[in-house]
């Protein structure tokens, strides 16, 4: 299993990225994993089971379409802190008030493993190009595969039982060093900051795995070791997965994601909350237009 590229693009103005799926669908998922299953590979039984589930996810997932609805916010960070002391799991920065900027919707068509973003709208109005501001991709499979891939050499630790959306899950801390990372960040241009800055960041965070199905339920990630030459000092993302019915089958897919980024030189932060809705099988009866550039 090869890890795929994770991209998080933050452009000039900055701005992005839920939902509950009927838990009864979980009954259609594979049978639970016995507590005494043999540990192998990562040293954690559930991590290895999740790797197997991820492979099954990629090979069995049909072509599909989904509506992506992103609300973008901006705020000013009120608390300065030592960046070396930043908690490396999900934690929003101290912002007095998040001000809504806009709402961006798009149809995402996943066909033969490729994602196409079309029918872009900002505040309900069609646009032909992706609007400037914070944008991220990779929620559907890239992030999950990158963290679970043996080639990434992810370091897992701190196994413990937890509950997420009413379901029992195993929670793990994890870390991926820069040499194995595929999280590519792009930021700028900003006023007073020359050009576009790019950096491939090591990262860490937490991952929750359903104790019954071995499906990943949530991933939190925080970029580590951002250099002082990079215009952002905080880059974080979180993705929630849940059971979604497509056709006659149930799959574990993203339903909500969130991203938070902060500029180092003026403490402006952006937060994007995204909901993924109306999953449907991509086929002859699907109405999607592909004449708008991404």
Give CA–CA dist 5/141, Å, rounded: 10
- What is residue 32's DSSP assignment? P
CB neighbours of 123 closer than 8 A, spacing ≥ 6?
102, 103
pLDDT in tens, 182-221: 898 988 777 667 778 889 999 999 999 999 999 999 999 9
Q: Tell me, what's the pLDDT at 63?
A: 86
Q: Tell me, what's the pLDDT at 137?
A: 65
pLDDT in tens, 62-90: 888 999 999 999 999 876 554 444 444 46
Q: Tell me, what's the pLDDT at 41?
A: 58
What would the mean pLDDT of 234-253 be, rounded to a whole number? 90
Q: Give the pairing type, strands 6-10 and 134-137.
A: antiparallel
Question: Percent of the chain at pLDDT above 70?
Answer: 73
Question: Percent of the chain at pLDDT above 90?
Answer: 42
Say whether the peptide bond before residue 189 is cis (omega within 30 degrees of 0). yes
Q: Tell me, what's the pLDDT at 284?
A: 42
Task: Output 110 or 159, whichever has higher pLDDT.
Answer: 159
Give CA–CA dist 185/196, Å, rounded: 10
What would the mean pLDDT of 39-60 be, rounded to a whole number? 79
Residue 285 pLDDT grade (very low, low, confident, very high; cuts 50, 70, 90)? low
* CA dist list (Å): 88 to 37, 187, 222, 223, 236: 31, 21, 6, 8, 9
- What three-state secondary structure class fits 149? coil
Residue 151 pLDDT more than 90?
A: no
* 29-34, Cβ contacts within 8 angstroms, sequence gap of 24 or more: 29/212, 29/213, 29/215, 29/243, 29/250, 29/252, 30/213, 30/214, 32/211, 32/212, 32/213, 33/211, 33/212, 33/214
What would the mean pLDDT of 102-110 be, rounded to a whole number? 90
Residue 260 pLDDT more than 60?
A: yes
CB burial of residue 35 (10 Å; 0-12, 13-18, 19+) = exposed
E strands in 131-231: 134-137, 155-164, 167-176, 183-187, 197-210, 216-224
**H helices of the chain, where?**
45-60, 142-148
């Amino acid at each position: 299993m090869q890890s795929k590229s994770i991209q998080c693009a933050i452009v000039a103005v900055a701005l992005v990225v839920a939902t509950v799926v009927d838990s009864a669908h979980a009954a259609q998922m594979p049978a639970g994993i016995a507590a005494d299953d043999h540990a192998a590979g990562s040293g954690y039984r559930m991590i290895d089971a999740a790797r197997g589930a991820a492979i099954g996810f990629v090979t069995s997932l049909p072509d599909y379409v989904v509506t992506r609805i992103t609300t973008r916010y901006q705020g000013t960070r009120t608390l300065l802190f030592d960046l070396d002391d930043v908690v490396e799991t999900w934690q929003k920065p101290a912002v007095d008030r998040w001000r809504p900027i806009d709402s961006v919707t798009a149809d995402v068509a996943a066909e033969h493993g490729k994602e196409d973003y079309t029918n872009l709208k900002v505040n309900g109005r069609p646009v032909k190009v992706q609007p400037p501001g914070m944008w991220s991709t990779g929620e559907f499979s890239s992030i999950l595969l990158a963290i679970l891939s043996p080639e990434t050499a992810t370091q897992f630790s701190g196994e413990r039982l937890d509950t997420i959306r009413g379901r029992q899950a195993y929670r793990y801390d994890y870390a991926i060093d820069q040499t194995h990372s595929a999280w590519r960040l792009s930021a700028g241009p900003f006023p007073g900051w020359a050009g576009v800055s790019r950096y491939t960041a090591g990262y860490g965070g937490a991952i929750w795995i359903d104790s019954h199905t071995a499906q990943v339920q949530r991933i939190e990630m925080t970029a580590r070791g951002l250099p002082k030459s990079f215009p952002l000092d905080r880059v974080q993302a979180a993705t929630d997965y849940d059971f979604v019915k497509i056709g006659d089958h149930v799959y574990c897919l993203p339903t909500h994601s969130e991203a938070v980024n902060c500029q180092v030189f003026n403490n402006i932060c952006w937060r994007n909350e995204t909901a993924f809705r109306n999953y449907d099988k991509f086929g002859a009866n699907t109405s999607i237009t592909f004449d708008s550039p991404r």
